[in-house]
Structure 1
Amino acid sequence: MVIFPVTSRYHGIEIAKYEMPPEEGETEPREIAYLRRRFLPPLSKPRDEPVSTEHVVTQGERLDNITASHLGDPEQFWRMCDANNAMLPQALTEEIGRRLRIPLDLGGTI
């Protein structure tokens, strides 16, 4: 069983199983475990996630550095994407002056 840490975007996603029919020469079916889909928030709907502050993007900034500065972990960039309705992380820093919603740091209890 795969267990993801609470800081992972996959934490809490259901692990499902698919049973494959036995291959030639085998008697037992094979079971394949996989993660169910992680649905992204609708782009047209404002996020309900609590926001601690905003950050104004400046020239040359990178999302991992912004995330590290505000959330203490550059690998939490996916939370920034979710909070700002972005499918592509790089889209968040393309526009100078863009105001990014900084999700509230829930102390690892995401």
Structure 2
Amino acid sequence: MTDPVQLLIDAGAIPSTPFGPASRYNGVPLALLQRRPDQPGQVYVKRRFIPAPSRIAVAARHAVTAQERPDLLGAKYLGDPLLYWRIADANAVVDPNELTDTLGRRVAIPLPPGM
């Protein structure tokens, strides 16, 4: 029997990933956790490894001022507020709020995607 949902995915009518192109999880594989054969499995996102900051090209450094947030830095420097995670990766922080918690902190800004 052919799975109609899989046919739609294969035809491009349904995205094969639940994450948009700007998501930090775009391209990270999904897996299925099957605890018991008589129960449906649970889909999960496999682990995403943060690249070493030394492997990320830095375009600029930004000194944090009052009222700044990671999404505002993403919009200002990368053209999309959802790309704040690229700045977090370039600074090796897991919690993006660490980027703007300290006034005067020098934040590495990576090159925009595709450059």
Deviation at 1:38, TM superposition (A): 1.4
Quote how far apart the aligned CAs of 1:35 are: 1.0
Whichever residue aligns with residue 40 of structure 2, its letter is: R
**Residue 94 of structure 1, CA deviation:** 1.9
Q: Please, which moves more after superposition, 32-41 or 78-87?
A: 32-41
* AA matched with 1:14: P
Q: Which runs of 5+ in 1 are unaligned?
A: 23-27
Backbone CA RMSD of aligned residues: 2.1
Determine the structure 1 residue equivalent to 2:86. Answer: 79
Normalising by the residue count of structure 2, what TM-score does the alignment of the two structures yield?
Answer: 0.73
> TM-score, length-normalised on structure 1?
0.76
Secondary structure of 1:34's match?
strand
Higher helix share: 2
Higher normalized contact order (CA 8 Å, seq sep 6+, divided by chain length):
1
Count residues in correspondence.
100
The aligned residue for residue 100 of structure 2 is 93
- Percent sequence identity is 40
1:21 to 33, 36, 60: 36
* Higher fraction of strand: 1
